[in-house]
């Protein structure tokens, strides 16, 4: 439960930290499956081709590749906000083609997403932004207030929660976006360049945060170009190059 997680974010991560293999007694479960997936925008060329892979519960992986390689596109396919032009994508065993809008909304609630451009709302406070997914679920404030405050403290925004995101620094916005993704206690976290706007020291602290989150049982897909950051952790790498996905376990 994200709200219950108490973690000390150390200044330097442990390079030898164990990030995956946290399988439960029943063994890992397949959260995401791509079968022969291709994607083109409009009548353009296929920018993703023949993608076949799965993402298991409790796993941690980097998604990398040059700018324009299709990382954000691939995350949208996982979240099923974008439909493949060929092949099949399933999320928690279900595919968008075969379920109702309500069922899809229900599936998405179990996925946390940190958008590359944050998508924070400036007419709300940072606290309200983080609480928003719970408001949307119809929860009463009394039932989540303590949870939201605890999470904001966990990401180091305890003293910034009452200001609107517009006056936060880039790194603070990044952490607010991460908190908003975690508040739903997702089984799967998709993070799109979550360290793209911060200095190397904060990037390492955020990586540490994602690893701690992974240790609590959340599967993590972290899109990044940052090779130095990836070298800190011995994790699965999904590398996009010229439309193809190469996986290094």
One residue of 67, 98, 100, 143 binding ligand ATP per CB under 6 A:
67
Q: Which two tokens stand for residue 119?
A: 């998508």
d(CA 121, CA 162) in angstroms, rounded, equals 13
**74 versus 152: smaller Cβ distance to ligand ATP:** 74
**74 versus 107: smaller Cβ distance to ligand ATP:** 74
Q: Rg of the chain over CA atoms, in angstroms?
A: 18
Verify binding: residue 68, ligand ATP, rule CB under 6 A.
Answer: yes
Q: Give the one entry of ligand ATP, Mg ion, none that residue 95 binds, where binding means its C-beta sits below a cut-off of 5 to 8 angstroms depending on kind.
A: none
DSSP-assigned letter for residue 94 = B
Verify binding: residue 47, ligand ATP, rule CB under 6 A.
Answer: yes
Q: Where are the beta strands (DSSP E) in the chain?
A: 30-40, 46-56, 60-64, 86-91, 111-114, 188-192, 219-223, 236-241, 244-248
**65 versus 112: smaller Cβ distance to ligand ATP:** 65
Q: Which two tokens stand for residue 95?
A: 């595919």
Nearest to 152 by CA among 171, 178, 133, 134: 178
One residue of 30, 36, 41, 52 binding ligand ATP per CB under 6 A:
41
d(CA 209, CA 25) in angstroms, rounded, equals 25
Q: Least separation, in Å, of the C-beta of 72 and Mg ion? A: 3
Q: Give the one entry of Mg ion, ligand ATP, none that residue 100 binds, where binding means its C-beta sits below a cut-off of 5 to 8 angstroms depending on kind.
A: none
Q: Give the one entry of ligand ATP, Mg ion, none that residue 112 binds, where binding means its C-beta sits below a cut-off of 5 to 8 angstroms depending on kind.
A: none
**72 versus 126: smaller Cβ distance to Mg ion:** 72
Q: Least separation, in Å, of the C-beta of 81 and Mg ion? A: 14
Binding site for Mg ion (CB under 5 A): 71-72, 116
CB 205 within 8 A of CB 178: no
Q: Least separation, in Å, of the C-beta of 71 and ligand ATP? A: 4
Q: Give the one entry of Mg ion, ligand ATP, none that residue 205 binds, where binding means its C-beta sits below a cut-off of 5 to 8 angstroms depending on kind.
A: none
d(CA 74, CA 92) in angstroms, rounded, equals 16
Alpha carbon 82 to its chain centroid, in Å, reads 16
Verify binding: residue 71, ligand ATP, rule CB under 6 A.
Answer: yes
Q: Give the one entry of Mg ion, ligand ATP, none that residue 73 binds, where binding means its C-beta sits below a cut-off of 5 to 8 angstroms depending on kind.
A: ligand ATP
d(CA 226, CA 203) in angstroms, rounded, equals 10
The residues that touch ligand ATP, with contacts defined as CB under 6 A, are 41, 47, 65, 67-73, 116
């Amino acid at each position: 439960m994200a709200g219950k997680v108490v973690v000390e974010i150390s200044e330097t991560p442990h390079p030898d930290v164990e990030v995956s293999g946290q399988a439960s007694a029943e063994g890992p479960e397949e959260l995401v499956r791509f079968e022969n997936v291709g994607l083109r925008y409009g009548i353009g060329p296929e920018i993703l081709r023949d993608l076949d892979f799965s993402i298991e519960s409790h796993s941690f992986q980097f998604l990398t590749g040059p700018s324009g390689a299709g990382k954000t596109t691939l995350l949208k396919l996982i979240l099923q906000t974008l439909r493949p032009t060929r092949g099949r994508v399933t999320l928690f065993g279900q595919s968008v083609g075969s379920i109702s809008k309500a069922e899809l909304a229900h599936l998405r609630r179990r996925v946390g997403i940190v958008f590359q451009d944050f998508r924070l709302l400036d007419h709300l406070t940072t606290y309200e932004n983080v609480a928003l997914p719970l408001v949307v679920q119809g929860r009463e404030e009394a039932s989540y207030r303590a949870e939201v405050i605890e999470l904001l403290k966990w990401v180091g925004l305890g003293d910034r929660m009452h200001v609107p995101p517009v006056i936060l620094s880039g790194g603070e916005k990044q952490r607010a976006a991460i908190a908003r993704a975690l508040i739903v206690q997702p089984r799967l976290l998709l993070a799109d360049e979550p360290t793209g706007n911060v200095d190397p020291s904060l990037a390492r602290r955020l990586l540490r945060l994602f690893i701690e989150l992974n240790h609590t049982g959340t599967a993590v897909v972290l899109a990044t170009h940052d090779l130095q950051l990836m070298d800190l952790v011995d994790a699965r790498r999904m590398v996009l190059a010229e439309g193809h996905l190469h996986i290094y376990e």
